[in-house]
Structure 1
Amino acid sequence: MRQIPILCLPYAGAGATFYRSWPAPPAGVGIVALQPAGREERYHEDPYAGLEEAVEDLAKLVTAHAEAGPYALFGHSFGAILAYELARALHEADVPGPDRLMVSGSAAPGVPLGRHSADLDDEEFVARVEQLAGYVHPALADPDLREVVLPVLRADVGLHESYRPTGTKPLPVPITVFRGAKDHLVSAEDCRPWADLSTEGCSWLEFEGGHMYLAEDPVSVLNAMADSVAVRPLPERP
């Protein structure tokens, strides 16, 4: 029986290691951590200068999985925006789009973020990001790693804060919205408009914790991912 791959995109400044360090997922699903440019094994590449560049690059990473059969996309925070725009781009191209979109810790596209952090100096920027997320990126505590991570984090935050949706037509894919119940950055009200972006239905799941709830309890998130796929089993493609 083929495992359903769940392709995962990290939050701003993070890389694929965040998901690679998770425990094994439940039977029937596999976690595939997508690696954006500019981090970890792709550190020699420049971070994305624009959303179109990011989506074009990430689409190349998805293609092999998309052509093999059903799959789901998952993204957290800025990664959720990337997952949504990637799903939209794939559905508009000849590459099969995801059969389920899971978005986590993210206001719906078009909901104003109401913050501007990308142009702050380094110390203010790091403090502001940590204040907003309620989470300290481990690499920022190491001076050597900080020099590598900071440009990527700043680029991602800049893209997120300047983001405008590329379209408003609902996608033909069910959406599951994940959120930490104590997320002070993204409210339940911010998440509700996700329902307007799918013709196939939208469901909501809340977890204990704040904006970075999934770093605290990945097992619960993995189980919810598997359940989300199982609610409407992804169809085999002819």
Structure 2
Amino acid sequence: MNKTTTTSPWIKIFQPSSHPKLRLFCFHSSASGASLFRLWGKHLPSNIEVCAIQLPGRETRIKETLITKWDDLLSSLTKDLQPFLTEYPFVFFGHSLGGLICFEVARKLRAKKLPTPKYMFISGRRAPHIPIDNQLHQASNQTLISTLREYGGTPEAVLENQDLMELFLPILRADFTLNEKYIYSLEAPFEFPIVAFRGINDTAVNLQQLSEWEKHTVGNFALHEFPGGHMFFLQQPETLIEAILKFM
């Protein structure tokens, strides 16, 4: 079988594996991109291939229009994923907004009777049936910058650079729009297991909101906390990766 190589703008494979036994699809958080997972392959066995999802309007897709509607996102992304889903087993990892996206992608795959992930790993995102009360997509620029500072992961020099913020804030606002305008619809829970993660000091999701992911699987459910805030794995991803590997 010839291994699929990607020309899709949606999928970035930083360290291709010639014969992967498993693909790890990683969905990034708001205002970030596929590069969030650029170095993950270095902490994984060579036969696990990291496929990082890249939303439009950032990094290699900076000239493309930002997406704020779920239908626009899911139809295009699912179409480009399809060639990758029948070759090797795969799992999903999504952080924050990425957790919600991979949940909806898995639902879309199931509806189309396509292969679904063996596991879904969700990080830093409340369960999808819990609405977001403190909406920020129409907040002032200053409020958005304060939120970024609270989440951690963005250097202070970047937060204080007006030119960079003029590029960065529309991406953040679009991603927050997608996250906050999401409307949950009731469907059957998944059969594959779900594992949820958070930083102990994460102000974006509390333990109760995270534990509610258990309602979305009839399989096993596990929950793990790590030291740190919302972007707890940014400096040392290997700690999180080790936890994921225990399930694979």
Structure 1, residues 59-103: CA drift from partner, whole Å, max 9, x if none?
134222212121001100111001111111111114312121110
Residue 33 of structure 1, CA deviation: 1.0
Corresponding residue for residue 13 of structure 1: 31
Equivalent AA in structure 1 for residue 42 of structure 2: A
Change in Cα spacing, 1:160 to 1:15, as seen in structure 2 (3 Å) is same
CA contact (8 A) 1:140 1:149 kept: no
Change in Cα spacing, 1:140 to 1:60, as seen in structure 2 (3 Å) is farther
Matches of 2:49 and 2:37, distance apart in 1:
11
Corresponding residue for residue 111 of structure 1: 130
Q: Report whether the alignment pairs 1:168 with 2:187.
A: yes
Higher relative contact order, structure no. (Cα contacts within 8 Å, ≥ 6 residues apart)? 1
Aligned length: 228
TM-score, with length taken from structure 1: 0.87
Structure 1, residues 139-193: CA drift from partner, whole Å, max 9, x if none?
5454444333221110111121222223332012211111112223211111111
Q: Report whether the alignment pairs 1:155 with 2:174.
A: yes
Partner SS, residue 171 of structure 2:
helix
TM-score, with length taken from structure 2: 0.84
RMSD: 2.0
Equivalent AA in structure 1 for residue 119 of structure 2: R
Equivalent AA in structure 2 for residue 3 of structure 1: K
Structure 1, residues 107-147: CA drift from partner, whole Å, max 9, x if none?
1011132212111222232223433x244367545444433
Corresponding residue for residue 69 of structure 2: 50
Q: Report whether the alignment pairs 1:85 with 2:104.
A: yes
Partner SS, residue 136 of structure 2:
coil
Partner SS, residue 54 of structure 2:
coil
CA contact (8 A) 2:20 2:49 kept: no
Matches of 2:164 and 2:79, distance apart in 1:
28
Selected match of 2:239 from 209, 212, 220: 220
Partner SS, residue 72 of structure 1:
strand
Q: Which has the higher helix share?
A: 1
Change in Cα spacing, 1:75 to 1:141, as seen in structure 2 (3 Å) is farther
Corresponding residue for residue 193 of structure 1: 212
Equivalent AA in structure 2 for residue 177 of structure 1: A
Aligned-pair identity in percent equals: 27
- In structure 1, the gaps of 5 or more residues are 230-238
Residues 202-221 of structure 1 mapped to structure 2, 5 A cutoff:
202-221=221-240
Selected match of 1:34 from 32, 49, 53: 53
CA contact (8 A) 2:153 2:234 kept: no
Matches of 2:202 and 2:147, distance apart in 1:
16
